[in-house]
Amino acid sequence: MTQEILINAHPYEKRIAIVEDGRLVELYSESLENQEVTGNIYKGIVRSVLPGMGAVFIDIGLKRTAFLHFSELDADFLPEQFRKICERGNSSQIDKIFTVGQEVVVQIKKPPLSKKGASLTCKLTIPGKFLVFMPFKDKVAISRKIKSGKQKHKFAEMLNRIKADDVGVIVRTDTENSTEEDFAMEYKTLDTVWTALKKGIEFAKGPTCLFNQNELIFMLTRDLFNSNVKRLVVDDRQYRQKIIDQLKTIAPDLIDRVELYEEKTPLFDVYRIENDIHRIGNSRISLKSGGNLRIERTEALVSIDVNTGSFTGDNHYDDTILQTNLEAAYEVARQVRLRDLSGIMIVDFIDMASAASRDKVLKEVRKYMRRDRAKNKVYPFSPLGLVEISRKRRRPEIIMNLSEVCPHCNGTGRLLAKDSVAVKLYRWLQRSEFFINKEKLIVRVHRNVLHFLEANTDFLGDYMKRIEILEDPELEPYEFKILMEKNGKDVTEEYKS
């Protein structure tokens, strides 16, 4: 398997594409209006205490109050007089620990979703590339994916020499070739972060964010870019330098794999990433053979239906079904990662009479799901011929970042968000620059997009010198139209991705 990382860096929106064997399998985006919060540490203010639920609701500065359950308390972070309550496990006594208006330090365990606020924990951790730093926990834990007992013992000895007695560490998976020097360097960095955090805990006024671990460049260098990645290609010189500066302290051996893309054609167009992104919201996904998948999300679960479609095969009907299901096994795993689907997923493969065929398909699903960084489990075929997949939610589904609630149907459908439409317009201008760079253009957009561009005057940069932007009441919120000023010719379709 060949893995590459492609980065499209626009001042307003940055996107990271993970490509395996030439296929897009994961997409991450960050815009000024759309920030990830999972793992961030806050000083919040208690707004309500509910002994019957064994929980408190805490204002951490987000739109909705966040939820902290008794089971997520950490005795090591509590004053001495409350530790026994926590250790006894009596959740109904949570009102003896917290009062309304009290400040409390928490970390987001699960991000807000739909009408639910974030889920919190008091068990603070600070992740690095090789280690996870755990204040007040005198232990060394090793990732379960590291199987070698000899390697585990070696790492434990190293870290016990490095760490302080009141600190715990978890060794992460991507540490196969790590040395004691690597661990010591990262431990020192994480300890510095914790020292700064302690000052915020003592002096900051809530609600406020004390530690933001989700800036895209940190996630990239900490979690995504590792020794398995053949190369990283970025289309912005300054952003490339930022990546290199980050790698100097944590993984200098990866610096020579960072490449700058300087061609005129947009990077994601060259690798056909844009086409895949446009299809993320589609419920129907075609397979190479002519079959297809149908993905539908409900409130309780995600259903994925496999169909033969136009594929009839050249041989026996059972072979046709098996081939379609094997193709679907790969595509199901890919779409789960690409869309960042989570919770319970039910896959309805085409019925197979042979137990051997079912075993082959199940083995393929598990093989490709093992590439997923999110915790997941694939269950055997049920008596009804269904495969269940459970997957831990790490962040909102990617479609939530690329779209907004449709005002016409109040959420039963979705439209491209105004900032995503503006970025799409920017890429159109970038794509057309070589061909019509001296021509004046008239850009017609929906009023929502116009208001966004008026509020962000530098969004389109130098392109503003050759365009005039007008509101068009006949356009939908996700549409734009581009005309040549000299003759009124509509050129919108000519330079679409």
Residue 397 maps to a domain = no
In terms of Cα–Cα distance, which of 42, 48, 52, 82 is closest to 67?
Answer: 48
Q: Is the pLDDT of residue 122 over 70?
A: yes
393's CB contacts (< 8 A; 6+ apart) are: 110, 111, 113, 342, 343, 374
In terms of Cα–Cα distance, which of 283, 290, 327 is closest to 309?
Answer: 290
Average pLDDT (465-492) is 90
Both structure tokens of 205: 């006024």
CATH of the domain at 263: 3.30.420.60
Tell whether 307 and 338 lie within a shared domain: yes
Residue 400 maps to a domain = no
| Domain edge (last residue) among 67, 98, 121 | 121
Q: Is the pLDDT of residue 380 over 60?
A: yes
Query: What are 338-379's pLDDT values in tens digits?
Result: 998 989 999 999 999 889 999 999 999 999 999 998 889 999
Tell whether 85 and 152 lie within a shared domain: no
Tell whether 289 and 349 lie within a shared domain: yes
Q: Is the pLDDT of residue 409 over 70?
A: no
What local confidence, expressed as pLDDT, does residue 72 receive?
92
Global confidence as pTM? 0.70
Both structure tokens of 450: 């116009």
Tell whether 149 and 78 lie within a shared domain: no
CA distances to 13, 21, 322, 343, 371 from 18, in Å: 17, 10, 29, 22, 12
Tell whether 297 and 240 lie within a shared domain: no
Residue 313: pLDDT band with limits 50, 70, 90 = low
Residue 22 maps to a domain = yes
More confident residue, 334 or 179: 334
181's CB contacts (< 8 A; 6+ apart) are: none
Residue 16 maps to a domain = yes
What local confidence, expressed as pLDDT, does residue 338 receive?
92
How far is residue 199 CA from its own chain's centroid? 30
What local confidence, expressed as pLDDT, does residue 337 receive?
93
**Where in the sequence is the domain holding 459, given as residue range(s)?**
406-495
Residue 137 maps to a domain = yes
Residue 175: pLDDT band with limits 50, 70, 90 = confident
Residue 399 maps to a domain = no
| Domain edge (last residue) among 194, 211, 228 | 211
What local confidence, expressed as pLDDT, does residue 78 receive?
79
Total domains present in the chain: 5
Tell whether 234 and 308 lie within a shared domain: no
Amino acid identity, residue 349? F
Residue 282: pLDDT band with limits 50, 70, 90 = confident
Query: CA-to-CA distance for 196 and 101, rounded, in angstroms?
Result: 25
Tell whether 173 and 242 lie within a shared domain: no
Residue 171 maps to a domain = yes
CATH of the domain at 457: 3.40.1260.20
Share of the chain above pLDDT 70, in %: 93
How far is residue 441 CA from its own chain's centroid? 36
Query: What are 32-67's pLDDT values in tens digits?
Result: 666 778 889 999 999 999 999 999 999 999 989 999
Query: CA-to-CA distance for 105 and 66, rounded, in angstroms?
Result: 12
| Domain edge (last residue) among 76, 102, 121 | 121
Tell whether 158 and 254 lie within a shared domain: no
Residue 436: pLDDT band with limits 50, 70, 90 = confident
In terms of Cα–Cα distance, which of 276, 215, 330 is closest to 6?
Answer: 276
Residue 398 maps to a domain = no
In terms of Cα–Cα distance, which of 168, 130, 151 is closest to 249?
Answer: 130
Tell whether 107 and 161 lie within a shared domain: no
In terms of Cα–Cα distance, which of 329, 341, 337 is closest to 291?
Answer: 329
CATH of the domain at 66: 2.40.50.140
Query: CA-to-CA distance for 198 and 412, rounded, in angstroms?
Result: 45
With helix as H, strand as E and coil as C, how does the chain read? CCEEEEEEECCCEEEEEEEECCEEEEEEEEECCECCCCCCEEEEEEEEEECCCCEEEEECCCCCCEEEEHHHCCHHHCCHHHHHHHHHCCHHHHHHCCCCCCEEEEEEEECCECCECCEEECCCCEECCCEEEEECCCCEEECCCCCCHHHHHHHHHHHHHHCCCCEEEEECCCCCCCCHHHHHHHHHHHHHHHHHHHHHHHHCCCCEEEECCCCHHHHHHHHHCCCCEEEEEECCHHHHHHHHHHHHHHCHHHHHHEEECCCCCCHHHHCCHHHHHHCCCCCEEECCCCCEEEEEECCCCEEEEEECCCCCCCCCHHHHHHHHHHHHHHHHHHHHHHHCCCEEEEEECCCCCCHHHHHHHHHHHHHHHCCCCCCEEECCCCCCCEEEEEECCCCCCHHHHHEEECCCCCCCCEEECHHHHHHHHHHHHHHHHHHHCCCCEEEEECHHHHHHHHHCCCCCHHHHHHEEEEECCCCCCCCEEEEECCCCCECHHHHCC
Query: CA-to-CA distance for 78 and 373, rounded, in angstroms?
Result: 33
What local confidence, expressed as pLDDT, does residue 402 receive?
66
Tell whether 384 and 319 lie within a shared domain: yes
Tell whether 52 and 102 lie within a shared domain: yes
Residue 311: pLDDT band with limits 50, 70, 90 = low
Tell whether 422 and 381 lie within a shared domain: no
Query: CA-to-CA distance for 394 and 42, rounded, in angstroms?
Result: 18
